[in-house]
Amino acid sequence: MFKLSKLTDYGTVLMTELALAPARLQNAHELAQSTHLAAPTVAKLLKMLAKAQLVESIRGAHGGYRLARAPDHISVADIVSALEGPIALTECSVHQGCGIESHCGVRSHWRVINDAVRSALEAVTLTQMSLPLRSGGKGRAVSLKQGVPIHFSPSQARG
Amino acid sequence: MFKLSKLTDYGTVLMTELALAPARLQNAHELAQSTHLAAPTVAKLLKMLAKAQLVESIRGAHGGYRLARAPDHISVADIVSALEGPIALTECSVHQGCGIESHCGVRSHWRVINDAVRSALEAVTLTQMSLPLRSGGKGRAVSLKQGVPIHFSPSQARG
DNA sequence: TCATTTCGTACCACTTTGGTCTCATTTAAA
DNA sequence: TTTAAATGAGACCAAAGTGGTACGAAATGA
């Protein structure tokens, strides 16, 4: 239903926890405790994040994980791509072959929308995610600039 | 994998087709032919879209469907919500109860991201989707304003 | 050598999705 | 009144995806 998987949700929690102490080496067990997530799930996530080179893994005794880059150089889009694959709202956003492609006038539009969503996710860094921001409780603690993020210029399309 | 369902994809194709002739009444069979989608699928989609009041249905002989509103008053977000339910990237974007809620510092951030994505989808109307725009073929036919759509103001969060 | 910890992969239960089908209801025309 | 055309509502099923778990292999430090 147009939502991220739970693993991705947990992944951001995990990455946020790591961002609180970027230098410190933490193993999967510690992180499971501090995030209140199930240990096997944490281990699985860390492996995926390591493969995407978002976290650095040190094997062996006293090993563990730490962020591979500074928190402000990791975006939510990075985490989402790492755990769900490339951001593609529709099949034809990336590769073709949806069956009705030749008659499909909406394909290129979806690509634009896709880019807009991705840039929205790229705009939020791990640093921002780890800021408190929940001090206000249930209320609207942040101000969202409601400007229209997409700008269609069909007249310039090979004009 | 963070993507819309195929039905939603087809739904936009269907709505775009309807937008080409907003006044004309078209039945499910006709629409299946013009969009090259399977007839039962089209019928199912139209029912869902009618329930969401995006299309108007006229029953009986010579019945059919037409848009319930002008194409520029229907957004992609409307179609997505109709076919996938409310736009909620994460569980906690809308309702709580994710288990680790009390320790979860990222919840309110996800709400902001969620709003950004939704506004990106709201910004594109059916009118825009039905414009040709594919004249350039594979290339980048549109210009996407790459401005950062999200603006965090954590310092203003309960000052 | 041994304990610790990550790595890779396989596995399973469960849910969701995509697609089809059937029957009831409504309406216009014969 | 009867018939045909069309939507409405829901059940059904195969296939794919998701979440969670388990187990042995490899690496590292004591």
pLDDT tens, position by position, A37-61: 999 999 999 999 999 999 999 999 9
Sign of CA dihedral B36, B37, B38, B39: negative
**Alpha carbon distances (Å) from A109 to A9, A83, A147, B31:** 28, 25, 19, 21
Q: What is the pLDDT of residue A156?
A: 37
Question: To the nearest whole percent, how much of chain B has pLDDT over 90?
Answer: 61
Residue located via tokens 């073709």: A96
> What is the 8-class DSSP label of residue B64?
E
Contact call for B3 and A88, based on CB within 8 A: yes
| Mean pLDDT of all residues in B19-46 | 95
Q: Which of residues 89-128 of B touch strand D (CB under 7 A)?
A: none
Q: Write out chain A residues lying below 8 Å of B94, CB-based.
A: none
101-130 of B, contacting A, C-beta below 8 A: 103-110, 112-113, 115-117, 119-121, 123-124, 128-130
Confidence of residue B153 (pLDDT cuts 50, 70, 90): very low
pTM of the model: 0.85
Average pLDDT value for residue range B133-140: 43
Q: Do A105 and B35 touch (CB under 8 A)?
A: no
Model confidence pLDDT, tens digit, residues B94-130: 555 555 655 677 878 888 899 889 999 999 999 999 8
Q: How far apart are CA A55 and CA A67, in angstroms?
A: 4
| Start-end of H helices in B36-125 | 39-51, 76-84, 107-122
The C-alpha atoms of residue A23 and residue A45 are separated, in whole angstroms, by: 19
Q: Residue B44: which pLDDT band, with cuts at 50, 70 and 90?
A: very high
Contact B108 A141 (CB under 8 A): yes
Q: How far is the CA of B28 from the C1' of D2 (A)?
A: 25
- Measure, in angstroms, how far nucleotide C8 C1' is from residue A47 CA: 10
Q: What distance in Å separates the CA atoms of residue B39 and residue A57, rounded to the nearest whole number? A: 52
Rounded Cα–Cα distance for residues B70 and A154 (Å): 20
Instruction: Tell me which residue has tokens 């501090």.
Output: A34
The structure tokens 């929308």 sit at A113
Distance from C-alpha of B117 to C-alpha of B122, rounded to nearest angstrom: 9
What pLDDT does A145 receive?
41
Higher-scoring residue by pLDDT: A108, B11: B11
Spell out which residues of chain B touch residue A130, defining contact as CB-CB under 8 Å. Answer: 105
